[in-house]
Amino acid sequence: MTSPEEQATVKDEKEGTVASELTRNGGVLGYRRDDLEINPPYLYPDYASTRTRAPKRPLVPMPHTLSEVTGPVYGDTRIGELDHDLTRQHEDEPIGERIIVHGRLLDGDGKPVRNSLVEIWQANAGGRYRHQGDQHPAPLDPNFSGGGRCMTDDDGHYEFVTVKPGAYPWQNNPNAWRSRHIHFSLFGPAFATRLVTQMFFPGDPLFFQDPIFNSVRDERARDRMISSYDHDRTVEEWALGYRYDIVLRGREATPMEE
């Protein structure tokens, strides 16, 4: 694990000293806010749980300070050799359609977010989570836990091997079913860039009635949560490939040179 001191040096050499100069002066280079409008609202009544959990008071806009442009730095130390392969965490292989889920973690300028922790969790192929709160009467799979993690590489690339999660019913409204999805947790470089989202599968017939998916009102933004089938990453006689690139917030423009 690289110490923060060492990382500061590396970063300074690569990207100049604008950010650290600003820090010394008490100012920081913040993250852009303009594109946050595509995020779902807190209160989205079709998703019933938001009714008692969405704040009613207006949120208070605040500037980014040193506290928000810094954030947890994970090393490789918490990643086990098989943590990225959800099909090899038990004695035998899980039931289901074996898939490779991969893509790049990018910042808002299209640059790779390197050495950053990616965590996923999902239901098994029958649509059942290994969780005491999941009462859906579909079988648990003794060979599937449903959790994985990895670090992005120098190109911002990540990759998991897993099985395609099943759709499952939930109590939101009568005959409600969640679209097939994989939960993703991303950190990026700062507290301000933290993102938890879900990856969906192309052509899912359940989208129309899924209020979590549809809470993102902008259709193009919604489409960015849908992975694409990737024949180039499909491995002959072994697994189907799906590609899912994730874009975190970008940095405000660097101040003009004086």
Partner 1 sequence: MPSLTPSQTIGPFLHIELPYEGEEALVAPNHPGAIRLLGTVTDGQGDAVDDALIEIWQANAAGRYAHPEDSRQDVPLEDGFTGFGRCATDHEGRFEFLTVKPGPVPGPDGRMQAPHIDVSVFARGLLNRLVTRIYFPDEGDANAADPVLSLVEDEAGRRTLIADQDDGALRFDIRLQGEGETTFFVI
Residues in the chain: 258
In angstroms, what is the minimal distance from the CB of 199 to partner 1?
A: 9
231 binding partner 1? (CB under 8 A)? no
Residues 151-180 that bind partner 1 (CB under 8 A): none
- Count of residues engaged in binding partner 1, rule: CB under 8 A: 94
The radius of gyration of the chain from alpha carbons, rounded to an integer in Å, stands at 20
Among 16, 45, 65, 142, binds partner 1 (CB under 8 A): 65
Q: How far apart are CA 64 and CA 69, in angstroms?
A: 7
Of residues 87 through 126, those in contact with partner 1 by CB under 8 A are 106, 108-110, 119-121
Does position 19 interact with partner 1 (CB under 8 A)? The reply is: yes
- 183 carries an active-site annotation: yes
φ and ψ at residue 169, rounded to 5 degrees: -80, 155
Place of tokens 């920081």: 28
Among 136, 183, 224, 243, the active-site one is 183
23 binds partner 1 (CB under 8 A): yes
Residue 12: helix, strand or coil by DSSP?
helix
Task: Please confirm, yes or no, whether 229 is among the known catalytic residues.
Answer: no
Which residues touch 65 (CB under 8 Å, ≥6 apart)? 28
- Regarding 214 and contact with partner 1 (CB under 8 A), the answer is no
Q: Which is nearer to partner 1, 222 or 233 (CB)?
A: 222
Q: Are 192 and 9 in contact (CB under 8 A)?
A: no
Q: Does 45 bind partner 1 (CB under 8 A)?
A: no
Please identify, using beta-carbon distances, which residue of 63 and 137 lies nearer to partner 1: 63
Nearer CB in complex with partner 1: 221/234: 221
Characterise 77 by phi-psi region: left (phi > 0), alpha (psi -120 to 50), beta (else).
Answer: alpha
181 classed as catalytic: yes
Give the SS3 label for residue 240. strand
**Catalytic residue (one of 168, 242, 244, 251):** 168
Nearer to partner 1, 26 or 236 (CB): 26
User: What are 159's strand-pairing partners?
Assistant: 102
List the 117-122 sheet strands across, edge first: 147-151, 117-122, 181-186, 195-200
* Residue 189 to residue 117: CA distance in whole angstroms: 10
- Active-site residue among 31, 44, 47, 129? 129
Query: Is 235 or 254 the residue whose CB approaches partner 1 more closely?
Result: 254
- Single out the catalytic residue among 104, 149, 178, 251: 178
Beta carbon nearer to partner 1, 100 or 104: 104
- Which two structure tokens, joined as six digits, stand for 201? 């599968």
**β-sheet bridge partners, residue 164:** none
Member of 221, 228, 233, 252 binding partner 1 (CB under 8 A):
221
Question: Which residue in 16, 45, 54, 142 binds partner 1 (CB under 8 A)?
Answer: 54
Bridge partners, residue 52, by sequence: none
Kindly list the catalytic residues: 129, 168, 178, 181, 183
